[in-house]
Amino acid sequence: MSKIFNSIDMKKIYLLTLAVCSYSLFSCNSDEILSEDNNNDVVSPTTKSIVLAPDTIELKFIYQGQQYVSTALEYETHIEIQNPEVKQVYDKLQSLESTSALVRHDGFIEYFDNESILAENLEGRINNTPTPNPRWIGFNDGNGDPQDDWENNPLNYLARAWLYDDTNYEDRSCKLFLSKTTDRYDIERLKSFDNFNDKCSSVKIQYYYGDPASISLLVVYEDAHYKGHSFYFFADYYDKEFVYASLKALFYDSKPKPAPRKDSWNDRISSCKFYICRKDQLPEVG
């Protein structure tokens, strides 16, 4: 009888040993597979998330006559300004209730405490803004649809502007065309105009009128009824077509942040105005 029990015990020990060896062999093989090639981007089962490295951008703006330039780290939801002095000024701007900004043709964004101050200084700012690449009649940028190109103006409009649904002048567009100097658009609610509320991602402005003292001016507002923060885009006699390919590059810090939207002017415009005016005779603001 003891021999039978000894035989059973030996079988148990053998089977247990075999199981342990098999498990060890499987674990070793798995480790070898995971570490066989580090360039295969193998994700461990314990990995919970992948943090992407931020892009490095150059933030350039003007406030109260002084230029500010800093590198910044661009994340999905915000930017981190690296220069402490620039960050302090930028944070102050973002804390104001309704700043207004001029998109200059020299690459800078010039901020003002409110729209009335911008209007008072618009003539001097536009005249002093250098135009690096003057564009004349016949200019063709090749961006967007062929209908939007400079040379395609069969009805001889004096000014045209587009608000595009996507970056790089793509997808659906909201068209604003002026036939006479007295024509203008005052769109209090873009939601009721082609359902374009919070849809715009790029813009294009054209100026065909022959008066060097005038401009075609597109003013966009954060809220309906011309409320909230505002941005001014223009084209003029010397730079007849001005384009802005991505409003994601116009940074803006909202408090509270409308998650999951990024801190920028992308998909934020709710009302706008478009008209031809003299540089020294800006129509009423707000």
Q: Helices (H), strands (E): how many in the chain?
A: 3, 13
Report whether 160 contacts 135 (CB < 8 A): no
Angle at 131 between CA 129 and CA 136, to 5 degrees: 135
Total-model pTM: 0.76
Q: Which of 92-101, 139-148, 189-198, 212-221 has the lowest mean pLDDT?
A: 139-148
Mean pLDDT, range 2-23, rounded to an integer: 50
Beta-carbon count within 10 A of 283 CB: 13
User: Mean pLDDT over all residues of the chain?
Assistant: 78
Residue with tokens 């021999």: 3
Q: How far apart are CA 220 and CA 198, in angstroms?
A: 11
Q: How far apart are CA 130 and CA 141, in angstroms?
A: 20
Mean pLDDT, range 249-272, rounded to an integer: 71
> How far is Cα of residue 56 from the mean position of the Cα atoms in its chain?
15
Q: How far apart are CA 157 and CA 276, in angstroms?
A: 12
Instruction: Specify the pLDDT at position 203.
Output: 94
